[in-house]
Amino acid sequence: MSKTINRRQWLAGGLHGVAALAAAAQWRGAWASAPVRMLVGFPPGGGTDMLARLLAAHLQQALGTAIVVDNRPGAGGQIAAQALKAAAPDGQTVFLTHDHTVSILPKVVRDAGFDTRRDFQPVAGLGTFVNALAVTGGHPAHSLAEYIDWVRGQQAADAGAIGIPAPASTPEFLVGVLARQFDLSLVPVPYRGSAPMIGDLLAGQIHAGIGSVQEFLELHQSGRLRVLAVLGGDRQTALPEVPTFEELGVRGFRDTPFYGIFAPKGWSEAQIARWEQATQQVLAVPEVRQQMQAWAIDVRYMDHRQFEAIEQAYSQAWSRIIEASGFQPQ
């Protein structure tokens, strides 16, 4: 037996249908627009790329806009940074990066092709991480002091070789600080990224290396590598047994590397506020926080002003270290 639908019910149903169609059209319209490019200055599969893909998947839901990770590897992120500078400030391009590209590279390259302050707009900070000194799992040194004594006692010319993931990077300058402080012949050995450096470290081709904690963490926990010291003012939650360099008397490394999002200069306050809100929302998602913490990232949302202050303080601290090393931009 069929139901009789009165005029009021019919109108209500029609209005609900129109509203649903409008909402669907609005949603389709948002996703049908050109996707936002999230530039990454390093190859797929690396730490920065994995972070970008994790955040992009959640940010596009928060923003209602498709986000495509655009890898532009090479020259320590310089190629991606130049691509950001060339992009229009229309909200369609952002740059997810760590400290090296925006804070260190302009100080060690004669013409980086961009100026962080002049060309980029800080949007939001994502968190901080630290670099660490590690030796092979079978190395006799179980502390920084033991490593220093071991190097002093070796006759081989390569005993003081320390792998670093890139030339003219913070790990290279840290090697220089350790060499001067302990009067040692330590030599930085640059690689094209952390993966080949860690490969040689595991194979025993080099005895020690400096890289980010997140890249050493699992290998340290399995015993294949041994982390001896970390940067920063506090011990790492993931490595509570490992002292900081500052605890061991190596000063000047309280400012820690960071991850953050930049835009081309010229973004409006509304554009910045939209991304700040979305970033804060995403960093509060438990699975996002847990994954970032598993990568030894200290999750810390920073609005654009806080992030800008962090970047400038870090940049100034490393300017002093680079100048003291006598390094000349190439």
Residue from 82, 38, 76, 99 nearest 307 by CA = 99
Torsion of CA 12, 15, 21, 25, to 10 degrees: -150
| CATH 3.40.190.150-classified regions of the chain | 36-128+257-325
Retrieve residue 195's tokens.
């993966």
Q: Which CATH number fits domain 36-128+257-325: 3.90.25.10, 2.40.30.10, 3.40.190.150, 3.40.920.10?
A: 3.40.190.150
35 three-class SS? coil
Q: What is the residue whose two structure tokens read 């025993």? A: 204
Label residue 43 by pLDDT band (50, 70, 90): confident
Residue 240 CB coordination number (10 Å): 7
Distance CA 296, CA 236 (A): 8
Element housing 180 (H / E): helix 170-182
pTM of the model as a whole: 0.82
Percentage of the chain beyond pLDDT 90 is: 73
Residue from 170, 124, 131 nearest 300 by CA = 124
Q: What is the pLDDT of residues 269-313, one digit of tens each?
A: 999 999 999 999 999 999 999 999 988 899 999 999 999 999 999
Contact residues for 225 (Cβ-Cβ < 8 A; gap 6+): 134, 135, 136, 137, 198, 201, 202, 216, 219
CATH (residue range 131-230):
3.40.190.10
pLDDT reported for residue 255: 79
| CATH 3.40.190.10-classified regions of the chain | 131-230
**Are the beta carbons of 227 and 216 closer than 8 angstroms?**
yes
With a cut of 60, say whether residue 6 has pLDDT above it: no
